[in-house]
Structure 1
Amino acid sequence: MLSMLRAALRKPSLALICLLSIALGFSLAANFYHHPESSAIAAPPKDLSQSSWRTAFEDVADKLAPSVVFITSEKDVVVTDPFGNLDDFFNFGPFQAPKRAPQQQKQTQKATGTGFIVRSDGYILTNNHVVAGADRVTVKLADGREFKGKVFLDPRTDLAVVKINANNLPAVEFADSDKVKVGQWSIAIGNPFGLQNTLTVGVVSALRRQSYHNQDSVDIDYPEAIQTDAAINPGNSGGPLVDLDGKVMGINFMIYSRTGSNNGIGFAIPSNTARYVMDQLISKGKVVRGYLGLIPVDLTPVKSQVYGVKAGALVESVDKDSPADKAGLKAADVITKINDKPVESALDLRHIVQMLTPGTTAKMTVMRDKAEKVISVKLGEAPSGDESAAPVSGDKLGLSVQPLSAEIAKAIGVDPRIQGVVVRSVESGSAADRAGIQENDVIMEIDNNPIISVATFNSAIKKLKSGDTVVMVVQRGDRSVILEVPID
């Protein structure tokens, strides 16, 4: 029925180009109040055990069609006449006429996408990139009625809510995305290439896919995107991915493709994440997120062996007086669960924490000195533009570091008595890479300043600016190396 997803090029990843549905690259901000009203839910489908498989998809189409909408975003721009400079070609010689100023024209850029009704009193869920920055947003319902929309955005999750002045609308039902299984049917509904009410069918290909894109200088990471092979194309963005009961299990937002069209690999934001964001946008006009105040890093095979745990997020450093610090979390702790939910990576940790309400107490399962313990942390509120943890240090150099412990020193073959920070990873082609810095190097000095912790490393890096060249003393195994690193 409806399929929609706008595509934009992203950095190559695994020889593929990630094409993200980009409606417009602008930004809007707004605020509004929550008017609690009961949602009108579309009629439930027949029990599949009592209905024919032959009509299963028809039943879903009939149920969801009234709830899926067509969204048009308009942006006014001023463009310069491309032929304005022809005067310089034709107007030459001794009798030149005065030059005219380049002619400018006002034009309207349009982009289309999908959304779906989540409350009977006119609230619609879609992607941030479908409506962000638009001067006008128009919502067309399945019955042909059109309404102007007011937009509320959360760029961090690429989600948005559009409010229209309408009531008694057929709202969708949500599935529990934590219960979605690989291999189950998945149905995408939206407006691909502007073709309204398009339905495509596939299966859930994988779960917990890590997806990344950068939109308007905002990094958007999903550690648990739903992957599907249901056909998703430009125009499907913001549309629902539903199960055979017609319940929404995800919001289509991105594809991998060489061409910009369906390649059998599409991604949806899990419905549980979407509901958390949606509820806050409706009730508060913004999203507030939990905050720990620490820097997590991923476990490598070496670190897993050193810390005695197979999966989790290694605490690199803890901010002083932060919620994590007050609760007693320490550097070198490995967080394996939050409220009994498994934590498999640093991104997992950030995602889980940001989906928790500030002021609530989270139960952290931690491995410390190869022994498990539980620590309760009262979460703070993430600063504006921040998340549950700060990014890993060393962006100016193109590397990331972690504290040097005696166990890590032994594992990488350096004297455990030395002080410094361990290079965790080096970005290919970066300043650090070109200078010859390698993973597992221990940075001991920067410009004659001793580096004894991640904090002193960060302090030294903050002072650097483009064009500087820093001298580093690095321990590599049983030998010291002096490296010059030009800053880009």
Structure 2
Amino acid sequence: MTLKAARGQYGLIALILLSVALGFSLALNFTGHRSGDAIAGPADLALMRDWQNGFVGIAEKLGPSVVQIISEKTVEARPMMPGFEDFFDFGPFNMPRMPRQQPEKQTQRASGSGVIVRSDGYILTNNHVVAGADRVDVKLIDGREFKGNVLLDPVTDLALVKIDASNLPAAQLADSDKVKVGQWAVAVGNPFGLRNTVTVGVVSAVRKEVDPEDPLPYAEVIQTDASINFGNSGGPLVDIEGRVIGINGAIYSSSGGNVGIGFAIPSNTAKYVMDQLIEKGKVIRGYLGVEMRDLTPTMAKKLGVTEGALVTNVSEGSAAEKGGIQVKDVVIRVSGKPVANGAQLRRAVESIAPGKSVEVVVVRDKKEKSLTLTLDERPTDLQAAAQGDGSKLGLSVKPLTEELARQIGVDPGTEGVVVYKVEPGSAANRANIQVNDVIMEIDDAPVTSVASFTKAVKDLKSGDTAIVVVQRKNRSVILELTLD
């Protein structure tokens, strides 16, 4: 049976599995199960083999396109703790030892996944897999290794790695706008360096809304319950026909392990980024200079609109400020195209070249108002500025709102930033910083906003130790964090 034909059997699977389970139970309870007897009948087994072969076909088709990415970074070695030098100064019989030589530098290696998207050596992966690396190597399924040249796009957490190879087996990119909740999803990658590991699940959700309470690091994601483990980052999420619908990027977990909530960056986003990186070496985006949120039905009714993106902040000196956009404006059209939510506004603006004049229609005081403004270029470090430069610590933070404070069990009057992601094995992870911790202080410097958090960690460098005060539900915790 072909993969396409296998798709037509979706509705039969639950019935088949139930029948098999019932048959097994009856065999054990009434007739006894003899070694070597078939549990299911020939017809059922044939159907299940056909279904199984569909997934086997995906693994065989996609396997050669999935690669292991190994990144190396040189860091300063952690100095010996004070007092230990004296302990090690003398050897047996109290004889002086030779001076202990401690290396000043050490090499850290990390492993991730990637997928070949062009036969001439272009590979998609995550920005966080290769960012900051001194060297990136790519290992193909046939054992060949190549040194990779890297182009980054931190905004989408995507990266493009180019290797000097040709006639490579490239995966096909699907149209992620056509992805439906409930369809099959297959994740392929190299968790823990175990190459071509395949996990199967479904598309649990397709998230396109911009929500300030959302813990996701990306504005648009495909959510799946296919297991995405440490090291799967950068590998493909594919449909039942083996076409890439997303690039695996993150899991939602308080422990760093898989809990059945994984996220992939949509393939249409990946293709847009890839094309610009190949053509221009970077992704150039238009930039309005606003913070926004989606409307609730109650807010929409009060503001006199049915849909749009609500402006919650206007950056000083930005295109939005110069063009007359104000807080509480609801953006409903950009260059004649309707805007239903924050994600659509962001996409519309980013697709327009910087320096171009655009018409932006807003609703203000329940009346439409047309504004003409000239877009800026989106800064490359905008995401770090918005989420806090916690990458060196191995965590990501976001503003703590009163509603979010109630959700995570802290006093709504608490000041700080909330941790929504901790990288496994990072400095933050070793210090026992956890998701939903509220960082209130770093080395005696109060943290009251993302900006103050960024300022507090700005001068920290490899080998430094910081005292971090966090609020964890109803108690304060003091932690010692040492940077890699």
The one-letter amino acid of 1:269's match is I
Structure 2 contact 3–240 (Cα < 8 Å) conserved? no
- What is the correspondence of 1:152-167 to structure 2 with a 5 Å cutoff? 152-167=151-166
User: What is the deviation of 1:369?
Assistant: 3.4
The one-letter amino acid of 2:154's match is P
User: What is the deviation of 1:251?
Assistant: 0.7
The one-letter amino acid of 2:341's match is E
The one-letter amino acid of 2:59's match is A
Residue matched to 2:72: 74
Residue 272 of structure 2 aligns to a residue whose secondary structure is helix
User: What is the deviation of 1:153?
Assistant: 1.3
Query: How far apart are the structure 2 equivalents of 1:390 and 1:352?
Result: 20
Structure 2 contact 211–293 (Cα < 8 Å) conserved? no
The structure where strand makes up a greater share of residues is: 1
User: What is the deviation of 1:332?
Assistant: 3.3
Structure 1 contact 73–112 (Cα < 8 Å) conserved? yes
CA gap of 1:61–1:431, structure 2 versus 1, over 3 A, is: closer
Residue matched to 1:171: 170
Residue matched to 2:197: 198
1:15-55 CA-to-partner distances (Å, cap 9, x unmatched) read xxxxxxxxxxxxxxxxxxxxxxxxxxxxxx86447995443
1:240 to 198, 220, 236: 236
Query: How far apart are the structure 1 equivalents of 2:354 and 2:110?
Result: 36
Residue matched to 1:145: 144
Residue 103 of structure 1 aligns to a residue whose secondary structure is coil
CA gap of 1:80–1:54, structure 2 versus 1, over 3 A, is: closer
1:248-299 CA-to-partner distances (Å, cap 9, x unmatched) read 1111011123443321111001111122222222222222211113343554
1:117 aligns with 2:122: no
Q: Which runs of 5+ in 2 are unaligned?
A: 9-49, 389-398, 416-450, 457-484
1:344 to 335, 341, 345: 341
1:374-402 CA-to-partner distances (Å, cap 9, x unmatched) read 66655332244237x9899xxxxx788xx
Query: How far apart are the structure 2 equivalents of 1:324 and 1:89?
Result: 62
User: What is the deviation of 1:324?
Assistant: 3.6
User: What is the deviation of 1:148?
Assistant: 0.6
Query: How far apart are the structure 2 equivalents of 1:371 and 1:320?
Result: 25
Query: How far apart are the structure 2 equivalents of 1:258 and 1:425?
Result: 20
The one-letter amino acid of 1:143's match is D
Structure 2 contact 273–283 (Cα < 8 Å) conserved? yes
Residue matched to 2:375: 379
- What is the correspondence of 1:51-450 to structure 2 with a 5 Å cutoff? 53-79=51-77, 85=84, 87-88=86-87, 91=90, 97=96, 100=99, 103-104=102-103, 106-208=105-207, 221-297=217-293, 299=295, 303-316=299-312, 318=314, 322-324=318-320, 329-338=325-334, 340=337, 342-345=339-342, 349-350=345-346, 352-359=348-355, 364=360, 366-372=362-368, 378-386=374-382, 433=413
Fraction of identical pairs, as percent: 53
| RMSD (Å) for aligned C-alpha atoms | 4.3
Taking CA–CA contacts closer than 8 Å with sequence separation of 6 or more, which of the two structures ends up with the larger relative contact order?
1
The structure where helix makes up a greater share of residues is: 2
Give me the TM-score of the superposition, normalised by structure 1: 0.62
Residue matched to 1:421: none
Structure 1 contact 223–351 (Cα < 8 Å) conserved? no
Structure 1 contact 204–229 (Cα < 8 Å) conserved? yes
Number of residue pairs the alignment of both structures matches: 361
CA gap of 1:377–1:58, structure 2 versus 1, over 3 A, is: farther
Q: Which runs of 5+ in 1 are unaligned?
A: 1-44, 214-218, 393-397, 401-423, 436-460, 467-488
User: What is the deviation of 1:164?
Assistant: 0.6
Residue 363 of structure 2 aligns to a residue whose secondary structure is strand
CA gap of 1:261–1:319, structure 2 versus 1, over 3 A, is: closer
User: What is the deviation of 1:434?
Assistant: 5.4
User: What is the deviation of 1:207?
Assistant: 1.0
Give me the TM-score of the superposition, normalised by structure 2: 0.62
Query: How far apart are the structure 1 equivalents of 2:197 and 2:287?
Result: 41
CA gap of 1:390–1:256, structure 2 versus 1, over 3 A, is: closer
The one-letter amino acid of 1:134's match is A
Query: How far apart are the structure 2 equivalents of 1:391 and 1:69?
Result: 30
The one-letter amino acid of 1:270's match is P
Q: Which piece of structure 1 moves more, 307-316 or 367-376?
A: 367-376
Residue matched to 2:468: none
Structure 1 contact 211–221 (Cα < 8 Å) conserved? no
Structure 1 contact 153–286 (Cα < 8 Å) conserved? yes
Query: How far apart are the structure 1 equivalents of 2:332 and 2:375?
Result: 17
The one-letter amino acid of 1:244's match is I
CA gap of 1:434–1:187, structure 2 versus 1, over 3 A, is: closer
Query: How far apart are the structure 1 equivalents of 2:227 and 2:400?
Result: 38
Query: How far apart are the structure 2 equivalents of 1:212 and 1:190?
Result: 30
1:63-114 CA-to-partner distances (Å, cap 9, x unmatched) read 211211111112233435759936436749xx98599366226533211110
The one-letter amino acid of 1:142's match is I
